[in-house]
Amino acid sequence: MNKIKVLIADDHYMFIRGIESILSDDESIQIVGKAQNGQEAYEMAKQFSPNVILMDVNMPVMDGLQAMKMIIKEMPKVKVLMLTVNDKEEQLFEALRSGAKGYLLKNLLPNELLTFIHMVNRGESILTGPIVGKVLNYFSDHPQIEPQIMKTGRKTDILTKREKEILMQVMKGMTNREIAHALFISENTVKNHLRNIMEKLQMSNRVQAATFALKEGWLQEL
């Protein structure tokens, strides 16, 4: 089995050591590099081609957001999980808009971190419960950042009942596998529905799609 190659980027040495300790419990994960600023993270990403990067938001020399943008632009297959001690809305939304696959608070549990790394490696996007609420509030308070579907005036509910059911599970923080189990369908079917949803709403993030549908009232009837 191919191991998940993980790059850790954080300017606090003790935090890096803590992450190392957690990841060492999972034999399917291999740490390929440890960076202490955004510039090092960018250079190591080019050198080691990691599958997943755990990226601190605030770092010296180059911050995590800037490093992430450069990495995703040049290496679009690399999946970046942003880690932070706070949930500032501007940083959160900028990270998601720029291609982050997850935005997590650093107080998460070790088993949660391992689960999220595997989920992101499979192509899923991750936000923890408190962060989901922040995303929803941000959309409500910043109508100027509404997705393209709203700018074209298409505010009609265009989702099927099954698509709404899946988005409701996304809002609960469920993985694709958990959604499949809850709705008695296959994981591939869940992925196909999510792909269709994001195409309809012209979005690239399933959490953004779910919060948008909830804000528009499309999920209230469920």
Partners of 34 in the β-ladder: 8
Q: Are 3 and 32 in contact (CB under 8 A)?
A: no
Q: What percent of the chain has pLDDT over 70?
A: 84
DSSP string, 16-68: HHHHHHHHTT-TTEEEEEEESSHHHHHHHHHHH--SEEEEESS-SSS-HHHHH
Query: Would you place residue 95 in the very low, low, confident or very high pLDDT band (cuts 50, 70, 90)?
Result: confident
User: In the predicted model, is pLDDT for residue 119 greater than 60?
Assistant: yes
Write down the pLDDT at residue 50: 98
Given a cut of 80, whether residue 153 has pLDDT beyond it is no
4-126: CATH topology: Rossmann fold (3.40.50)
Token reading at 42 = 């960018």
Q: Kindly tell me if the per-residue pLDDT of 103 is higher than 60.
A: yes
Predicted confidence (pLDDT) at residue 87 exceeds the cutoff of 70: no
Q: Return the domain boundaries, the chain.
A: 4-126, 146-215
CA distance readout (Å), 156 to 124, 163, 200, 213, 217: 27, 15, 11, 11, 11
Would you tell me the crossing angle of helices 206-215 and 129-141 to the nearest 10 degrees?
Answer: 60
Separation of alpha carbons 201 and 196, rounded Å:
9
Overall CATH class of domain 146-215:
mainly alpha
Q: How high is the pLDDT of residue 150?
A: 45
31 phi/psi in degrees, rounded to 5: -80, 120
Highest mean pLDDT (candidates 3-12, 92-101, 150-159, 171-180): 3-12
Q: What is the pLDDT of residues 126-146, one digit of tens each?
A: 776 666 666 656 655 555 445
